Amino acid sequence: MMREIYTGIVLPGQGAVTAAARVRLEQQGLFEEGVFAYGRKYQALENAIALNPGYLPLENEIFPMTPTRSRDGGALNLTLKDALPDAWGRLVIQARNNWNAVSDVDVLLQTNADRVGAMVFAERLDEIPDLDLSVKSFRLEDLAKAAHALEFDMDVPPEFRRLLRQGGSLGGARPKASFVRERSLWIAKFPAKDDELDVQLLEHCTLLLASQCGIRVPDHLVVSLGKIHSLLLRRFDRPGLIEQGARIHYLSAAAFTDSPYESNAGSYVKLAEHLRRYGANVAEDLAQLFRRMVFNMLIDNSDDHVKNHGVLHVGGNRYALAPAFDLVPQLTNLGYMGMAMIDQDLSASLDTARQHAPRFGLTPEVANRIIGEVAAGVRLWRPVFESCGADKAILARVEACFQRQARIVGIASV
Backbone phi and psi for residue 385, each to the nearest 5 degrees, phi listed first: -65, -40
**Who's near 381: CB < 8 A, 6+ residues apart?**
205, 209, 398, 402, 414
146/164 Cα distance (integer angstroms) = 7
263/315 Cα distance (integer angstroms) = 30
Q: What is the DSSP letter of 67?
A: E
384/378 Cα distance (integer angstroms) = 10
**pLDDT (0 to 100) of residue 327:** 97
- Per-residue model confidence as pLDDT tens digits over 214-228: 999 999 999 999 889
User: How far is C-alpha 180 from the chain's CA centre?
Assistant: 19
Q: Are strands 62-69 and 31-38 parallel, antiparallel or unpaired?
A: antiparallel
Per the model's pLDDT, the better-predicted residue between 369 and 31 turns out to be 369
What is the pLDDT confidence band of residue 264, given thresholds at 50, 70 and 90?
confident
Q: How many residues does the chain have?
A: 414
Per the model's pLDDT, the better-predicted residue between 172 and 29 turns out to be 29
- Per-residue model confidence as pLDDT tens digits over 390-408: 999 999 999 999 999 999 9
176/94 Cα distance (integer angstroms) = 15
Averaged pLDDT, 73-98: 87
Compute the C-alpha angle 225/229/234, nearest 5°.
Answer: 100
**pLDDT (0 to 100) of residue 239:** 93
What domains are there in the chain, each with its CATH number?
Answer: 2-124 (no CATH), 140-234 (3.30.200.120), 247-409 (1.10.1070)
- Per-residue model confidence as pLDDT tens digits over 326-358: 999 999 999 999 999 999 899 999 999 999 999
Q: What is the DSSP letter of 263?
A: S
What Å distances lie between residue 26 and 34, 97, 183, 237, CA to CA? 6, 23, 41, 32
Burial class from Cβ neighbours inside 10 Å (0-12, 13-18, 19+) for residue 87 reads: exposed
109/71 Cα distance (integer angstroms) = 21
**Who's near 163: CB < 8 A, 6+ residues apart?**
138, 142, 143, 146, 177
